Amino acid sequence: MENLTILYLGMHPEIRETVVRVINGNGRWRGIGAGSTEEAMRLFLFEKVDVLLLGCGIDPETEARLRKDMLELAPSLIIIQHYGGGSGLLLAEISMAVEKHHPKTLNPSL
Amino acid sequence: MTTTNTTTNAIVHKANTRGHANHGWLESYHTFSFAGYYNPERVHFGVLRVLNDDRVDAAMGFGKHPHDNMEIISIPLEGDLEHKDSMGNSTVIKNGDIQVMSAGTGIFHSEYNKNPDQPVKFLQIWVFPNKKNVQPRYDQVTLNVNDRHNKLQQVLSPNPEDEGVWIHQDAWFHMGRFDKGIDTTYAIKKAGNGVYAFILKGDFTINGHELNQRDGIGIWDVDQLDIKANSQDAEILLMEVPMDVA
């Protein structure tokens, strides 16, 4: 789970700021935030994004299209639905998703 | 250390295996992974995602912080908990009250111990909603605690017209306080749901499992729970929840 770049997309500006700050509070992760799908795609194209974290306020059709477009460009992208809007669940959400995609990351013995 | 004891359709979480965080002013026990406590074996029970058992020192508390897309239930056990939120609510809840927030598209709130000279103890419970991005809402009710003596009192349901508070999820919570030796049963409300029972005080036997104060047990694939109080004034919280996280 070293040096992950995590792109958070959420429509609530204060929650977005909070989530990105919490992500950046973990020394191993870098958080960047987007408040629209256009901004998210722009950041995605210019940054090496490992994880897309989906926050609140995204309509289902837009989310489905974004997932499809990003995975076509980067099949290894990890996409997580974030619940709770803050620090409580972030660590577990990200850790579980990374473990699922890259088992050796958390279990070197595997 | 093994933190879980799993049988065919039940999982026991002993009180002393919970995550623990002591920040001085705040002491919290986490049944499921939360904040700095991460245990991949302990992430959720169905849609029940957070069960935090918190103590906050006098006049201390959580400053303004956000939530979204979560049903958040607070149950005070001792003392007075002051709540203020971005919807304009400013309230104090105490033992016998139950508070719910549907965070939906996003809210901010703060929680402080209202008392200058005694701690507040409360449960904070988070349930995944069955619908994303709902309009944020707040509600609280005061329950008659005598209505849970030697029986189960419904404190939460999916139905706004029903007893207790309601949430965006097919979940039902009940609380009970029992004399020693009293038996009761709990019938599952919705087929496929499981029940997470949390022992607030005293000792119980549930479906053959011996449980003590602050132990928890999750049970699924059953139609009912058989519950027996093994100590006087034993208190329990039952949380029936869907087992599938959408």
- Which amino acid is located at B224 in the chain? Q
Indicate the pLDDT class of residue A28, thresholds 50, 70 and 90.
confident
Q: Are B101 and B68 in contact (CB under 8 A)?
A: no
pLDDT at A109: 38
CB B233 within 8 A of CB B207: no
Chain B contact set for A85 (CB, 8 A):
66-70, 103, 106
Cβ-Cβ contacts under 8 Å between A and B: the total is 75
A25 close to B (CB below 8 A): no
Residue B129, pLDDT above cutoff 50: yes
A96 touches chain B (CB under 8 A): yes
Q: Residue A83 and residue B38: Cβ atoms within 8 Å?
A: no
pLDDT of residue B3: 53
Using CA coordinates, name the residue in chain A closest to B36. A91
Q: What is the pLDDT of residue B116?
A: 92
| Mean pLDDT value across residues B62-66 | 91
Q: What integer is the mean pLDDT of B116-144?
A: 96
Instruction: Dump pLDDT digits (tens) for B184-199.
Output: 999 999 999 999 999 9
| CA-based nearest residue in chain A for residue B128 | A83
Name residues whose C-beta falls within 8 Å of residue A53's C-beta, 6 or more positions apart in sequence.
A6, A7, A8, A9, A19, A23, A80, A82, A93, A94
Contact B38 A88 (CB under 8 A): no
pLDDT tens digits, residue range B42-54? 999 999 999 999 9
Nearest-angstrom CA–CA distance, B183 and B152 = 11
A83 with B68: Cβ contact below 8 A: yes
B65 shares contact with chain A (CB less than 8 Å):
yes
